[in-house]
Amino acid sequence: MAIHLSAGFGCIVFLAILIVPGVVAAYISGNPNWLWISPVAVSAILLLIAALPIKRKITPQEFAVELEECLNGAAGDWGWDDTLSPRIADPRLDQVRGWLLLKLGTSDWRDDQVAGVVAKLKRGEIPDTLE
């Protein structure tokens, strides 16, 4: 049985991550300034982490499995986003990721074309030209 969490729950968790440390620090120290210092500090840390140039290390076969799950609908609501958003360390695979990201949701998108890319990736090949 899968539990589907709504976006509202995610917002509540995010706000708790921002606010709870400040409330605890203000309570323990008796200094109400922690109520605004902590959320600012946590936000700054999260922005710094998000700005790091971290790239996924993934093989063509692993990337193919993720893409296939997205095509089949098995990856869930955020499957395409989770698969195509993070940059990939291999520049050739990252080029494929970027191409798919540009095509996604446009009139140029064709499932059969993506399935062909997936088949090549499963064989360990990385398509040179993507048209």
Using DSSP, state whether 56 is helix, strand or coil.
strand
Element (H, E) at 80: helix 79-84
**Calpha distance 59→77 (Å, rounded):** 24
State residue 4's pLDDT score.
56
Q: Which of 123, 128, 9 is nearest to 59 (CA)?
A: 123
> Do the beta carbons of residue 118 and residue 85 sit within 8 Å?
no
pLDDT of the residue at 7: 61
pLDDT for 10: 78
Q: What is the pLDDT along the chain (131 residues), one digit of tens a residue?
A: 445 556 678 788 888 888 999 999 999 999 999 999 999 999 999 899 888 888 999 999 999 999 999 888 887 778 888 888 889 999 999 999 988 888 887 777 777 888 888 899 999 888 876 65
